[in-house]
Structure 1
Amino acid sequence: MLLNEKDFKNEGVKIAALIMAESARTAPKSKGEDTIEIVYVDGEEMEKIAAKMEEMAEGGDKDFIRDAESVRKSQAILLIGAKGDRTVGVNCQACGFESCSEFKKADRKGENFVGPNCAFRMIDLGIALGSAVKVSAMLGIDTRIMYRIGIAAKKLGMIDADVVMGVPLSALGKSPYFDRAPKK
């Protein structure tokens, strides 16, 4: 049997994304409580994200267009988010409230992400993201953590989380996520 890499590239990227997802899932969490949400996206759903990002650029942030182009050059996206409303219960005040019970009474809202959020849950999100992209680096898959992808996917209802980041994946000759010119 002969297989050209071009014929299985997307399958390899999907396998990498699935392993990245498991690394994010098993990353350490505050108090051992998991509030992380993970969704794999490819195909037509990626185009929906890119189109939503272009629509959002009309609000003034032209980098949504640049990042939409990166989405279109990707083979897959991993959405990783966290539910920030679940406190750890240590009354650390990092959220800006006197106690976790005061935090729980807060009016949670937001146009792109929902907040306020428990700082420990956001730390958990960062650790999960770091764990995922560590795996991609080990596997030789290009990625970049992009909040604009997360916003678009959240607005499209693709993931149930308060704060979401998108991690596009690519296996091209050159990473499409760096050396990108800002849109004017």
Structure 2
Amino acid sequence: MALYEGRSTAYEALVDIAKHCIHAVYKAPQVTARLELKTAIITNEELHPVMEVLSTLAGAEFVMEMDYLTYKDAAAMGQQPVVVAIGADVTYSELGWDCGACGFQTCSEFNRYSKENKGLGLLGTGPSCNWKMLDLGIACDWACAAAWQYNIENRVEFTVGAVINLLEYLDGCSCVLALPLGPLTDLWYYNRPMFTRRFNYEQWLSQMRNVAPVAFQGFSGGQHPMIKGAGAWWQKAPEMVKVEGDPQMMQEKLDLQGRLMQQVMEKRQVVAQMKEKSRA
């Protein structure tokens, strides 16, 4: 017989639950029956390269900052998330359905273009077969459902998945999504308590106006829609929505890309060593 402290013992069991999530990934039904899914479980120091790259992105992209601080605060509690990485190569179609959803009239045209032209988008390299992306999403849904069966806090993230993909934790994937499990609390990835502590109401409202401006926008039929600001916006001079370029922002993004790729190349070597060690 033994006496186990509840919270720490439950946290240790997250790796076992991650394995059950992967069971669900490979059990999930597919529309195409052709998608080759790849998975990995990332824990402890193996997650450090992801956190380092996220910290670089956090200074420039608000959504990256949100997820970086969410993971960082969980680690400070002694409950760093256990991450299930789920990925696939969706840049090729052998379906022959010629549905046109990818933007090309035939699968053959899509394949010819994709073979020579791949670009880095929000989720990963593209273009992508929409049917295979649908199957990847279904697999992630099943993984989330498996975690829910165990009452484990989780949320699918393209941000962390994109970093995992950049660092090549999974081989041969054009798109990777991340499913963090834990910490042992409720609504960690939805309530975001770290931001409640960091921002007051006015600061948070200002952030949300930048993130989702359409939610603050007035009637647009006059072609000069007003946008509601923080505080008593109706007592202030009206602010209008305007579409224009932002050279400074674009230059900052280019500078970030340069720093990011240098860091990614360095961290890929670390990840490669981790993978080699795990195979030994």
TM-score by length of 1: 0.91
TM-score by length of 2: 0.61
Contact 2:28 2:142 survives alignment (8 Å): yes
Contact 2:58 2:68 survives alignment (8 Å): no
- When the two chains are superposed, the root-mean-square deviation of aligned CA atoms in Å is 1.9
2:86 to 55, 80, 91: 80
Partner of 2:105: 98
Q: Which has the higher helix share?
A: 2
Q: Percent identity?
A: 23
> Tell me, what secondary structure is at the counterpart of 1:30?
coil
Contact 1:35 1:121 survives alignment (8 Å): no
Q: CA deviation at 1:151?
A: 1.1
Contact 1:84 1:163 survives alignment (8 Å): yes
Contact 2:32 2:132 survives alignment (8 Å): no
Partner of 1:67: 67
Which stretch shows the higher mean deviation, 102-111 or 11-20?
Answer: 102-111
One-letter code aligned to 1:108: K
Structure of higher CA gyration radius: 2
- Pairing 1:2–2:13 present: no
Q: CA deviation at 1:121?
A: 0.7
Contact 1:146 1:165 survives alignment (8 Å): yes
CA distance in 1, matches of 2:5, 2:96: 53
Q: Unaligned stretches of 5+ in structure 2?
A: 75-79, 208-280
- Residues 102-147 of structure 1: CA distance to partner in whole angstroms, max 9, x if unpaired? 0001112225511000011100011000000001111111101111
Contact 1:10 1:75 survives alignment (8 Å): no
Q: CA deviation at 1:171?
A: 4.1
Contact 1:42 1:75 survives alignment (8 Å): yes
CA distance in 2, matches of 1:104, 1:121: 13
1:114 to 117, 125, 128: 125
Contact 2:11 2:184 survives alignment (8 Å): no
Partner of 2:161: 150
Partner of 1:35: 36
Which stretch shows the higher mean deviation, 106-115 or 78-87?
Answer: 106-115
